[in-house]
Amino acid sequence: MSELESEAMEAEFDTVAGWTEEAVRALGPEYAIPAGCRGSGSEGALRWLADRLDLRPDTRLLDSGAGVGGPAGWLAAQRGLRPVCAEPMAAAVRAGRRLFGLPSVVAVSQYLPFADASFDAAWCLGVLCTTSDKAGLLAELRRVLVPGARLGLLVFVADGPLPPPLPEGNEFPSEGELRRLLADAGFRLEASAGADLGDSPEEWTRRADAVEAEVERRHGADPAFGQAQEQSRRVGRLLSDDALRGWLGVAVATGG
């Protein structure tokens, strides 16, 4: 195993990322943003965060754990920014760079190849629950942000013990733990809300589904496809049973 905490996560975030790019190429560029939002899922969640990040066209924004780049591509299209993407899975970075033309680097969020205080804002969507080193990730995000910068988060939180089978490699914090981690890393939570991951426009959902179907048509027999499907099925079941919930937050970097 290389960068991530389980083989199933590598199937989901690396192999399927490459396949997603291939399917978008087959279907058309208008499919790229909905298909490239792997975890953030809903346009409503992106808009809720973007509205609270104090963004201007010249804001230097980092998307940490950017995946295939859909959320960063959405920000570029909707708010005229040029986000910088960092993501540990090389196939996802390649896909994001080619689909959205944004500056992108292969890096885990705990070790970012940027100087201190190089960004005015950041977001990190669906990433914190994929690593056990949450404190290290948040400390590194704090390091690369200027004081007063805002950090947007989408985190899947668990209010109690989760019923198996669990998605491999994930560690879901409680909301209390998340709030403590943020404060310890030098962030002041400014706003939070529940994430309704089903509030995208119909056309968005139709395009995301079409890309998924195209990936399945091309690679459905590959064991990595089955592994990735099982991971998202497990997360989906926990969400629909209300054992897990999507949490959105915006926090301000303190100090300086």
Ligand X SMILES: C[S@@+](CC[C@H](N)C(=O)[O-])C[C@H]1O[C@@H](n2cnc3c(N)ncnc32)[C@H](O)[C@@H]1O
Which residues form the interface with ligand X (CB under 6 A)?
A: 4, 13, 37-40, 64-67, 70-71, 87-89, 92, 108-110, 125-127, 130-131
Complex with ligand X: residue 59 or 64, whichever CB lies closer: 64
Minimum distance from residue 233 beta carbon to ligand X (Å): 14
Query: How many Cα neighbours within 13 Å face the side chain of 233?
Result: 9
Residue 41 DSSP symbol: -
Sign of CA dihedral 199, 234, 174, 92: negative
Q: How far is the CB of 19 from ligand X (least distance, A)?
A: 14
Nearer Cβ to ligand X, position 61 or 127? 127
Nearer to ligand X, 70 or 186 (CB): 70
Shortest reach from residue 183's CB to ligand X, in Å:
21
CB nearer to ligand X: pick between 2 and 240: 2
Residue 18's nearest CA partner among 230, 219, 250 is 219
Question: Considering the complex, what minimum distance in angstroms separates the CB of residue 46 from ligand X?
Answer: 9
- The CA-atom distances, in angstroms, between 177 and each of 165, 229, 241 are 23, 29, 21
Nearer to ligand X, 23 or 66 (CB): 66
DSSP string covering 56-109: -TT--EEEET-TTSHHHHHHHHHH----EEEES-HHHHHHHHHHH---EEE--T
**Minimal distance in Å, beta carbon 42 to ligand X?**
10
Write out the two tokens for 182: 């943020």
216 token code pair: 């399945």
Q: Which spans in the chain are helix H?
A: 7-10, 16-27, 32-36, 43-50, 70-79, 90-100, 134-144, 175-184, 202-219, 223-240
Nearer residue to ligand X within complex by CB, 89 or 102: 89
In angstroms, what is the minimal distance from the CB of 45 to ligand X?
9
**Which tokens hold the place of 101?**
């033309």
CA dihedral sign of residues 110, 114, 117, 122: negative
Type of residue found at 200: S
In the bound state with ligand X, the residue whose beta carbon lies nearer, of 153 and 253, is 153
Kindly state the tokens that stand for 135: 């404190």
Least distance in angstroms from the C-beta of 175 to ligand X = 19
